[in-house]
Amino acid sequence: MNQFNRIISEIEPSRSVTLMAKAKEMQREDPSVINLCGGEPDFPTPERICREVEKALKEGDTHYSDFRGNADLRARIAEKLLTENGVSCTADDILITPGGKFAVYLAVRALINPGDEAIWLTPGWVSYPSIVQASGGMPVAVHLDQEEEYKVHRKMLEAAASDRTKLLILNSPNNPTGKVFSKEDLAEIKAFLMAHPDVSVLSDEIYESIVYEDFHAESLAADPDLSERVIVVNGFSKSSAMTGWRIGYLMCRNQAMPVIQKLFQHTLSCVSGFLQRGALVALDCKEETEQMRKAYSRRRDLLLRELGNVPGLKLFTPEGAFYAWIRFDVKEDSQTIATRLLEEAKIGGVPGDAYGEEGGTFVRFSFAASDEVLLEMTKRLRRFMTDL
Ligand SMILES: Cc1ncc(COP(=O)(O)O)c(C=O)c1O
The predicted-structure confidence for 298-307, as pLDDT tens digits, reads as follows 999 999 999 9
Q: Which residue has the higher pLDDT, 14 or 319?
A: 319
The pLDDT, as a whole number, for residue 20 is: 78
349 lines ligand 1 (CB under 6 A): no
Contact 3, 328 (CB under 8 A): no
Domain boundaries 6-45+287-387, corresponding CATH code: 3.90.1150.10
Does residue 171 have its Cβ closer than 6 Å to ligand 1? yes
* Residues 74, 85: Cα–Cα separation, whole Å: 15
pLDDT given at position 256: 97
> How far, in Å, from the CA of 15 to the mean position of ligand 1?
14
- Name the segment(s) of the chain with CATH classification 3.40.640.10: 47-284
Query: Is the shortest distance between the CB of 124 and ligand 1 below 6 Å?
Result: no
Q: Is 125 in the pocket of ligand 1 (CB under 6 A)?
A: yes
Measured torsion, CA atoms of residues 370, 373, 375, 376, in degrees rounded to the nearest 10? 170
Could you name the CATH architecture of 47-284?
Answer: 3-Layer(aba) Sandwich (3.40)
Check residue 273 and give its pLDDT.
Answer: 97
Q: pLDDT digits over 160-213, tens only?
A: 999 999 999 999 999 999 999 999 999 999 999 999 999 999 999 999 999 999
Ligand 1 center–CA 116 separation, angstroms: 24
Which residue from 271, 318, 281 is spatially nearest to 48, judged by alpha carbons?
281
Maximum CA extent, the chain: 60
Q: How far is the CA of 248 from the centre of ligand 1 (A)?
A: 9
C-alpha 100 – ligand 1 centre gap (Å): 5
CA 362 to ligand 1 centroid distance, Å: 20
Instruction: For ligand 1, say whether the CB of 174 is within 6 Å of any of its atoms.
Output: no
Q: Which of 218, 277, 217 is nearest to 62 (CA)?
A: 277
- CB distance 204 to ligand 1 below 6 Å: yes
Among 261, 241, 259, residue whose Cα is nearest residue 249:
261
Dihedral over Cα of 224, 263, 97, 177: its sign: negative
Paired residues of 314 in beta bridges: 327
∠ CA 146-147-151, nearest 5°, is 65
Three-state secondary structure call for residue 170: strand
Burial 347-377 (b: 16+ CB within 10 A, else e): bbbbbbbbbbbeebbbbbbbbbbeeebbebb
Choose one of 169, 238, 245, 268 to mutate for the ligand 1 pocket test, by most ligand atoms within 8 angstroms of C-beta. 238
142-148: average pLDDT: 95
pLDDT in tens, 93-118: 999 999 999 999 999 999 999 999 99
From the CA of 369, how far away is ligand 1's center (Å)? 18
Q: Considering only residues 164 and 1, tell me which one the structure prediction assigns the higher pLDDT.
A: 164
Quick check: CB of 99 below 6 Å from ligand 1?
yes
pLDDT of 5 strictly over 80? yes
Q: Please state, in angstroms and as integers, the Cα–Cα distance from residue 43 to each residue in 150, 281, 354, 369, following that order.
A: 30, 17, 26, 9
Nearest CA to ligand 1 atom 7: 100
Among protein residues, the one whose CA lies closest to atom 13 of ligand 1: 39
Determine the average pLDDT of the residues in 277-285.
98
Q: What is the pLDDT of residue 25?
A: 87
Name the amino acid, one letter, at 54: E
**CATH 3.90.1150.10 in the chain, residue ranges:** 6-45+287-387
> Omega of the bond prior to 98 within 30 degrees of 0, cis?
no
Is the shortest distance between the CB of 98 and ligand 1 below 6 Å?
Answer: no
Q: What is residue 1's predicted lDDT score, i.e. its pLDDT?
A: 57
What is the CA 2 to chain-centroid distance, rounded? 35
Residue 235 in contact with ligand 1 by CB distance below 6 A: yes
Q: Is 196 exposed, middle or buried (0-12, 13-18, 19+ CB in 10 A)?
A: middle
DSSP helix/strand/coil, 289 = helix
End-to-end CA distance of the chain: give it in Å, rounded.
Answer: 47
For range 124-133, the mean pLDDT? 96
Give pLDDT, residue 169: 98
**Residues in the chain, overall count:** 388
Mean pLDDT of the residues in the chain: 95
For residue 238, the CA-to-ligand 1 centroid distance in Å is: 8
Identify the band that residue 3 occupies on the pLDDT scale cut at 50, 70 and 90. confident
- Best residue for ligand 1 mutational test, from 14, 19, 121, 125 (most atoms within 8 Å of Cβ): 125
Entry pTM: 0.96
Q: How far away, in angstroms, is 123 Cα from ligand 1 center?
A: 15
Which pLDDT does position 15 carry in this prediction?
75
State the pLDDT at residue 203.
98
pLDDT at 378: 97
Strands 165-171 and 347-348: unpaired
pLDDT at 246 over 60: yes
| Interatomic CA distance for residues 166 and 112, integer angstroms | 7
Check if 296 has its Cβ closer than 6 Å to any atom of ligand 1: no
| Distance (Å, whole) CA 11 – CA 91 | 35
Whether residue 175 has its Cβ less than 6 Å from ligand 1 = yes
pLDDT at 17: 78
Top-confidence residue, 121 or 15: 121
Q: Quick one: what percent of the chain has pLDDT higher than 90?
A: 91
Per-residue confidence (pLDDT) for residue 164, from 0 to 100:
98
